[in-house]
Amino acid sequence: MLSTLTFFISESFISLRRNGLMTMVAVGTITVSLCIFGFFLLSIINMSNIVSNLGTKVDLVAYASQPLTDTEAENVRLQISRIDGVKEAKWISKDKAWKDFKEEFSDRLKLEEIVDSNPLPDTFFVKMLNPELSAKVSKEIARISLIEEVGFNPNLVDKIETLVEAFRIGGLMLVFLLSLATLLIVVNTIRLTVLARETEIVIMRLVGATRSFIRWPFIIEGIILGMLGSGISIVIIKFTYEAIIVRLQNALPFVTLFTNHFWIGCVYFLVAIVGVLLGMLGGYISVNKQLKEEN
């Protein structure tokens, strides 16, 4: 058993070396495809992450139509917080809003010179449980009496989500096409070995080697190609991603990029699995063609 395995593996390495150039082309193609696949997965993870963060940060802001007493304000706040999809609602009295506003902009504007009375209404900040419901919730808040208007662009999150969805679908198509192209190249590479070893296959069949025995060296050859390709691409993805994260985090500090090691580890794992599977499948297909032609 062990001697058989050693036989297979040494045979595979011999033929990979014999087809040096084609082996490099195949490993290169697998690497490129897997890098694109890996970055696609990382982008998806990051976008989902950003969108869900967006959801907790994008608040609805509701403005009262007239100055409110404390009881009226508490009443409105309760009505808002009872709406489905609302996490919490917070009341900022018009006085506090005016004070905050003045504090924030005091160094840039001399507001008192322009407006001497407080122009701001009582304000409710609304935190959402689920950003997808924003549009619906904002309509319901607008229906509450004493609420004048709800400030928030209800389409923004929708638009981002549509964008992410389009990216996801487009990316999946790209990944699929790339896998197909990679598979073809792997099949062709191993096909060269199959052809170079045609006499050997004929003799193996003649002396009674089983079909699976004949297949294994080629499948192992595919696995080796896949492992080389995915190893290289994981290294590339790791270093590039880390470099990108550092730069992006500096340039866009308000966007939280994904650094959770578990999920990033999952991406690497997936890249490795896909690489090895592509190689295996390629090996299987190329030798099976030969076995079908006879018999």
**Can you give the binding site for other proteins, defined by CB under 8 A?**
2-4, 7, 199-200, 202-211, 213-214, 294-295
Question: How far is CA 52 from its chain centroid?
Answer: 13
From the CB of 133, what's the least distance to other proteins, in Å? 59
From the CB of 23, what's the least distance to other proteins, in Å? 18
From the CB of 205, what's the least distance to other proteins, in Å? 7
- The answer to whether residues 34 and 274 touch, using CB atoms and an 8 Å cutoff, is yes
Residue closer to other proteins (CB basis): 140 or 200: 200
Residue closer to other proteins (CB basis): 15 or 46: 15
From the CB of 228, what's the least distance to other proteins, in Å? 25
Residues 6+ apart with CB under 8 A from 84: 133, 137
From the CB of 209, what's the least distance to other proteins, in Å? 4
Is the dihedral angle over the CA atoms 202, 204, 208, 210 positive or is it negative? negative
- The position carrying tokens 């928030």 is 152
Residues 6+ apart with CB under 8 A from 268: 38, 234, 237, 238
Residue closer to other proteins (CB basis): 127 or 205: 205
- The position carrying tokens 């487009």 is 170
Q: Which residues of 98-135 are buried (b: 16+ CB within 10 A; e: fewer)?
A: beeeeeeeeeeeeeeeeeeeeebbbbbebbbeebebbb
Q: How far is CA 288 from CA 77, 180, 185, in A?
A: 70, 18, 16
Residue closer to other proteins (CB basis): 118 or 288: 288
Residue closer to other proteins (CB basis): 145 or 199: 199
From the CB of 286, what's the least distance to other proteins, in Å? 19
Residue closer to other proteins (CB basis): 137 or 285: 285
Structure tokens at 81: 């917080």
